[in-house]
Structure 1
Amino acid sequence: MKITHLILCTPLTLVSGYASANDSSERVLEDPPHMNVTRKHVALLAVPNPTTASTNAPQMQSSNEALFTWELKKTKNKLWNPATKSYDTVILRSYQGTDTQPNTPYIAPTIEVFPGETIRANLDNQLDIDPITHQKPTKDLSCTSDHTDVNKPHCFDGTNMHTHGLWINPAGNSDNVLVSINPGVNFQYEYNIPPDHPTGTFWYHPHRHGSTAIQVASGMAGALVIRGYRQPTLNKTGDLDLLTYGFKERTLVFQQIQYACYDANGNIETDSNGSYICPNNQIGEIRDYQGFGPGEWGKSGRYTSINGEVQPFITQAVAGQVERWRIVHAGIRDSINLSIRQMQNIPSRLDLTPMGEKKLLSESCTGPIVSQHLIAADGLTLKQVMDKTVTVFQPGYRYDALMQFPQEGRYCLIDEAASASANVDRAFSERHLLGIIQVDKATSAPQSLTMALSNNAKQNIAPDMLPAVLQDLQQNLKLSHFVPHQDLPATPYKQFLEFNIDTNADPVQFQVNGKPYQPDRIDRTLELGKTDEWILTSKLASHPFHIHVNPFQVVAVYDPNGKDVSDINAVDDYDKSTTPDPQYRGLKGTWKDTIWVKNVKGASYKVVVRTKYERYIGDFVLHCHILDHEDQGMMQNIRISLPDGNGGITQGHH
């Protein structure tokens, strides 16, 4: 089967009035570029009884190998700035190489593979040449192994690669984030996707301790989609792609590229309000960690981009048609509170300058809200479709949503305002316009979401399981035959983790369990095959917890008064000074790889999760996914070891 991808083109007349004529056609949203995979063969979909399988069932590729090249360079290009109604010239670290696009260099291509396939990726670090002078700069001694202050951001041009959310080997040249690929070094990664790997939406980004934030903030990130069409059976769940096959798909990678211009003293140029400016046609860049702090993203005046475009126009949606949106928060620290509202009182010409944006949001983005029908969290299928009016994305989060627009017209894609207690930046955030959606008139009678999924099931699910799948869909859109992991039982084995920022230390320390990161220290040695229950808290501020390799199942989230706010009908109203926080509601029983550990005015929530260490041994990390916190020490080394057969853990064969 050939997987087709949308190339969104639209006549200029469709977007007239959206922006000035010289930029409107360029800012129509397209999916990120796709890395092409040449496959050796195509195998028919495996079903229990092939003679009765639907002839319309999708096909599946397997036993193939993909070869890509990431060339890491500083790239000169442009980003739209609504404040000036023009493009800013910028020079940022970016991935070039296989299937990258010159017009959008700050979004990496999407990788699409199937379970059982192998990715071979050459990471070629070419960052030792200055793109302006073409001179080789002085050697960065902070990239050397004897660099002493490991938790001070350093080695800005050293790198490596992390496949966020993948269940693969963390060692060697697989998902190994404990290596440094310095300028001038070429290293080949090999990612063997196991045949039983869950399908879903994942992503990839650099993870070299000391430079992770500066590189991800430059746009060095891309989506990684694992597709599959494995049938559900009585003993094994199948792939959700069977139910969404044929729906229009969009991949939306949110990024927060906080470029700046600098004065002669190396300070960021700002106006009287603190917003970043680039006077005298200066070139924007990200030199250091200035501006990576609480509230700084909001003050900077920069805009969240989607697939490398700021405030794009999303076209080719059709009223009543179901679309699958794969949404990735690939920013480094600021929360996104996603909502979609129908636009009313549409002005004859859209002014998207900061003042015009506020007017549009208050006067036009006021129509009925469109439900986001969530089907997967962090790439892993939910037990049933969960409807959200606002979906909260913390850094590292992914959600897959089925979108169905009720009627033709324009819709506002909005980052809603959030209280300080619900926001990574610990500051109240204002509403912002992320983009505008153009929905065309329906070409056929619309179907309900239940009917659309049921029709796909009738086409693609083998006859012996079809009645059970259809019954689930009729009962509140349950997806129980497509959840890739079984519920984990209660366990007496506990792991405790507390995030903290010690502001009394000099310099300030970013800690996990009272200690900043040390690369030569193993903080936890865990046993292969064992299930642990983790209790996550935060002593100061809130932090998104992320652990590599094995995902976890959410057991409960307790507010400081002991109320569980993770149930489907729970209301998180602990902070009486603001509206209830929607982000934990419905997470009980959900599988994820990143979760928000909340602190409100010094009082910590308690997040309880369970995880089982399966298949892979080796060393990897857990950390706060506010990436400048990780670079400054909010990280631990984890080791998974074999049991020794005597009730302990083996320390090696000698």
Structure 2
Amino acid sequence: MKKFFSSPAVKMATLSSFLALVPPLGAAQSSLDARSFDDLSDTPEASAENALSDASGGLGSKAERLQCLKGLNPSGNSGAVKLKVQMGTYRIYNPSTDAFDTVWMRSYNGCPTGPTISVKPDARLKVTLDNQLEANNPPANCPANPDHSTPHCFNDTNLHTHGLHISPSGDQDNVLITVHPGDKPRVFNFQIPANHPSGTFWYHAHLHGSTAINVASGMAGVLIVRGSRPARAGVIDGSADIDTILHRKQPAQPLREHVLLFQQIEYGCFGSASSEVPLADPTTFEWQCPTGSKGEIRGYNNQLAFVPDPRPGHAGQLNSTWVISGRYTQINGIVQPVFPSATTFIPAGEIRRLRMVHGGNRDTINVKFVRANLSTLGLADSQTLSAAQVNAATISAASKLAGSHTKSSQAVALDALCNGEIVKQLEFAEDGITMSAMVEKDVNSMDPGYRSDVLVAFPSPGLYCMLDEAADASATINFRINSMKAKDRRLLALARVGPGTNIADTTVGNHSRYWQYIRDQLVAGNSNLPEPARSDLASLKLRAFAPTIPVDGPVANVVPAQFDIQLPGPTNPIPAPRFVINGETYDPAKVAYTGVLGNIDQWNVSATVLATHVFHIHTNPFRIMDITNAAGHSVFNSSGGCSAEEAATGDAEYCNLQGVVRDTLFLKAGYTLSMRTIYQDFTGEFVMHCHILDHEDRGMMENVSVVSPATAYLQRVTAPLSALTHDTARWLARLRGKDETQVALAGALCTARDYARR
């Protein structure tokens, strides 16, 4: 990949010449410096731009900030990196108070986010995980034999590489191991297959019982697989890497990329060292952090939960503590950052690659870009704004929004400001996997675990709003029966666009001017692309770069997986809600399903009408065959778009998904996902679960095992003998008057499953 990067000197010269357009900063604009966008890309351009800001952001110093933003292993070659799990102190901007709250969080290396790690296909990445957290305290939260439907042992951890197709066993992507505080640092050796597709992936803590509290504290980072395999003449098999065509007209200069890690840090401040109830405003019930306090995440009952909503107008509703808290989604550790920074601009017409990762746990994010209406600020608006005018607009818009301290006033100010032209996103990869064609999107719906790679070009100089668009609650992970009925609109970031090349207002067929402009730029920059990839590119088809999984053969098994929350009631005498898959909570000693290496299985995954969930399976991705609604009707029409029935719901997030390869998917209440997967390359035990991670910690997870055909045959042959062994053990126990359970457990050691593990 080195040849795709221009030198740091060239990049600094470009940035310096552009900064010459910027007038000196005033005091008001200087106050925005702490909210400058921090780019987690590990490219030289990102590092150079990060260094231009003199502010420390939420960290203690500029040096500390830059150290946190420094990528690990940017060459992508085989290498070794270290992640230290420790408590970290930093500040988070709170728009409701226009001030910064100090937080004290579980973290990687003491930073708001984990560092970006790059790796190439066929490389070996050695990651040392050093757990320096305090021992679990109090002991009641970490019993010797924990209930696996109750979160526990919050300071235990491990490491998961979300989306990578690597071995789930041994010292690779094995989430069934535990790294305790004070343990000898654990070394993971991730071997990336030589044919692994390039793309945007991520890593995070994934120990059952503590996953949500760790990830919601910030223990997550972006993992990029950078590829250099070009398209070949006459070949459209998906083996080429999309990276090789995403460059400017000069082949040596890749498109500028930005890494955006979305997180939802559900911190609260407390009245005492033993309290687990966050301090809250007595009228709005939004969580408060008095001066001198530190925000924390202490548990799951009053944070990371659904509770009776105490807010006025919400009587009888069961709502997420995230919604009640009033907290805001952050990007790379910054709430409502100024993008690309408080002192730089994106030139109009310059195509940027956005690697977006939903590393949060508590909310659906509906990403949308719109032009700000500067007339509402009393400013002139045109297609030829100067850098000075964009500076003035940024200061005015930020001041206007900062003066709105209630959710209702914020909504009014945001609606008045952010109502201009929608800037289309051209999405080309979902969950790190390049799709067969680029898709134009007004709104890009992302749920926990999702990744989305898009190309964006802003049409003219000005100020733009990056929004988390409003939605009906049924289209979000916060939907519950008797929950609030809508997701409100929020500002994610303000984007500053300076003079450049304005995009002409022309269209091609059913496509927007953004589609045409980006298509023309890519075609012009890839004149040597062989056929048929070049002809494909003229219509933004990407078949040469879109990996497929071979699931068109015979289906070995159909596997049902229904996600449900069982509630206490007269007909269900349970003490608390149960988070189940197929009626069962997680049992770490049980393999819920065993697949056979090389087999194709169809999984029918559903959510009951009570709630929404997010399905994720490790190791092997899946191809979406169909999605049906609560009436059993497909959401797709004959051309693969959304049916009229689904379109009438107003939710278009499923509309381009037929045939797409994913590893994570949102399940609307009452809907069923039909997907096919093939178990390739690796045997071993891994998990599937709900990626609303507190659901997982409360039991919504299953172990899945993949065995070789020989082992599968052995299991079938020995199954009758295993059953006889168990029956004999029970008969002997009754005869001898011993504990049947203990004898049966001893007999179970001789089963085929345990034999296969040995």
Q: Give the CA deviation at 1:313.
A: 0.6
> What is the match of residue 49 of structure 1?
none
> What is the match of residue 149 of structure 2?
151
Distance in 1, matches of 2:633 and 2:567, equals: 29
> What is the match of residue 198 of structure 2?
199
Distance in 2, matches of 1:617 and 1:219, equals: 31
Contact (CA 8 Å) 1:93, 1:220: kept in 2 or not? Answer: yes
After superposing the two structures, state which structure 1 stretch, 252-261 or 26-35, moved more. 26-35
Q: Give the CA deviation at 1:79.
A: 0.9
> What is the match of residue 569 of structure 1?
641
Taking the TM superposition and a 5 Å limit, the aligned residue runs for 1:503-542 are 503-504=567-568, 505-539=574-608, 540-542=610-612
> What is the match of residue 586 of structure 1?
656
Residue 531 of structure 2 corresponds to residue 467 of structure 1: yes
> What is the match of residue 127 of structure 1?
133
Distance in 2, matches of 1:646 and 1:520, equals: 19
Contact (CA 8 Å) 1:495, 1:534: kept in 2 or not? Answer: yes
> What is the match of residue 552 of structure 2?
489
Q: Report the CA distance shift for 1:139/1:559 in structure 2 as closer, same or farther (over 3 A).
A: closer
Taking the TM superposition and a 5 Å limit, the aligned residue runs for 1:244-255 are 244-245=246-247, 246-255=254-263
> What is the match of residue 312 of structure 1?
337
AA matched with 2:100? Y
Q: Give the CA deviation at 1:484.
A: 1.3
Contact (CA 8 Å) 2:136, 2:154: kept in 1 or not? Answer: no
Q: Give the CA deviation at 1:645.
A: 8.2
Q: Report the CA distance shift for 1:489/1:139 in structure 2 as closer, same or farther (over 3 A).
A: same
Residues 395-449 of structure 1: per-residue CA shift (max 9 Å, x gap)? 1011100101111111100001111110101142100000110111115888821
Residues 230-288 of structure 1: per-residue CA shift (max 9 Å, x gap)? 12334543111111131110110000001001124431111121111012431111111
Contact (CA 8 Å) 1:202, 1:379: kept in 2 or not? Answer: yes
> What is the match of residue 291 of structure 1?
303
Contact (CA 8 Å) 1:318, 1:439: kept in 2 or not? Answer: yes
Which of 329, 338, 362 lines up with 2:367 in the alignment? Answer: 338
Residue 443 of structure 2 corresponds to residue 390 of structure 1: yes
Contact (CA 8 Å) 1:377, 1:398: kept in 2 or not? Answer: yes
Q: Report the CA distance shift for 1:346/1:195 in structure 2 as closer, same or farther (over 3 A).
A: farther
Contact (CA 8 Å) 2:586, 2:699: kept in 1 or not? Answer: yes
AA matched with 1:210? G
Taking the TM superposition and a 5 Å limit, the aligned residue runs for 1:605-616 are 605-616=671-682
> What is the match of residue 559 of structure 1?
629
Distance in 2, matches of 1:296 and 1:188, equals: 36
Residues 531-556 of structure 1: per-residue CA shift (max 9 Å, x gap)? 01111111231111000000000111
Residue 90 of structure 2 corresponds to residue 77 of structure 1: yes
Residue 331 of structure 2 corresponds to residue 261 of structure 1: no
> What is the match of residue 432 of structure 1?
490
Q: Report the CA distance shift for 1:374/1:354 in structure 2 as closer, same or farther (over 3 A).
A: farther
Residues 23-45 of structure 1: per-residue CA shift (max 9 Å, x gap)? 41121112126499xxxxxxxxx
Distance in 1, matches of 2:626 and 2:553, equals: 12
Distance in 2, matches of 1:610 and 1:534, equals: 6
Residues 513-535 of structure 1: per-residue CA shift (max 9 Å, x gap)? 11000110111111000001111
AA matched with 2:595? L
Q: Report the CA distance shift for 1:596/1:300 in structure 2 as closer, same or farther (over 3 A).
A: same
Distance in 1, matches of 2:174 and 2:644, equals: 38
Distance in 2, matches of 1:298 and 1:16, equals: 36
Distance in 1, matches of 2:356 and 2:490, equals: 17
Larger helix percent = 2
Which of 157, 160, 163 lines up with 2:158 in the alignment? Answer: 160
AA matched with 1:226? V
Taking the TM superposition and a 5 Å limit, the aligned residue runs for 1:316-465 are 316-344=345-373, 345=375, 347=377, 348=396, 349-352=399-402, 353-355=404-406, 357-426=410-479, 427=484, 428-443=486-501, 448-459=517-528, 461=529
Residue 242 of structure 2 corresponds to residue 240 of structure 1: yes
Q: Give the CA deviation at 1:16.
A: 6.7
AA matched with 1:156? F
> What is the match of residue 315 of structure 2?
none
Q: Report the CA distance shift for 1:645/1:511 in structure 2 as closer, same or farther (over 3 A).
A: closer
AA matched with 1:580? G
Distance in 2, matches of 1:389 and 1:622, equals: 31
SS at match of 1:321: coil
> What is the match of residue 543 of structure 1?
613
Which of 99, 111, 116 lines up with 1:110 in the alignment? Answer: 116
AA matched with 1:297? W
Distance in 1, matches of 2:585 and 2:21, equals: 53
> What is the match of residue 478 of structure 1?
541
Distance in 2, matches of 1:15 and 1:587, equals: 48
Distance in 2, matches of 1:309 and 1:238, equals: 35
- Structure 1: 5+ residue stretches without partners: 37-60, 97-101, 129-135
Distance in 2, matches of 1:75 and 1:534, equals: 41
> What is the match of residue 748 of structure 2?
none
Contact (CA 8 Å) 2:627, 2:634: kept in 1 or not? Answer: yes
Q: Report the CA distance shift for 1:249/1:346 in structure 2 as closer, same or farther (over 3 A).
A: farther
Q: Rg: which structure is higher?
A: 2
Distance in 1, matches of 2:427 and 2:76, equals: 31
Distance in 2, matches of 1:364 and 1:190, equals: 49
SS at match of 2:112: coil
Which of 174, 180, 183 lines up with 1:182 in the alignment? Answer: 180
After superposing the two structures, state which structure 1 stretch, 627-636 or 604-613, moved more. 604-613
Q: Report the CA distance shift for 1:517/1:572 in structure 2 as closer, same or farther (over 3 A).
A: farther
> What is the match of residue 211 of structure 1?
210
Which of 480, 488, 499 lines up with 2:563 in the alignment? Answer: 499
Distance in 2, matches of 1:563 and 1:162, equals: 36
Distance in 2, matches of 1:546 and 1:305, equals: 23
TM-score (normalised: structure 1) = 0.87
- Structure 2: 5+ residue stretches without partners: 45-73, 248-253, 307-318, 378-395, 505-515, 569-573, 717-751
> What is the match of residue 626 of structure 1?
692
Q: Report the CA distance shift for 1:114/1:286 in structure 2 as closer, same or farther (over 3 A).
A: same
Residues 347-400 of structure 1: per-residue CA shift (max 9 Å, x gap)? 234323444532332111000111110000000011100111111101101110
Distance in 2, matches of 1:160 and 1:351, equals: 40
SS at match of 1:281: coil
Contact (CA 8 Å) 2:76, 2:119: kept in 1 or not? Answer: no
TM-score (normalised: structure 2) = 0.75
Residue 684 of structure 2 corresponds to residue 643 of structure 1: no
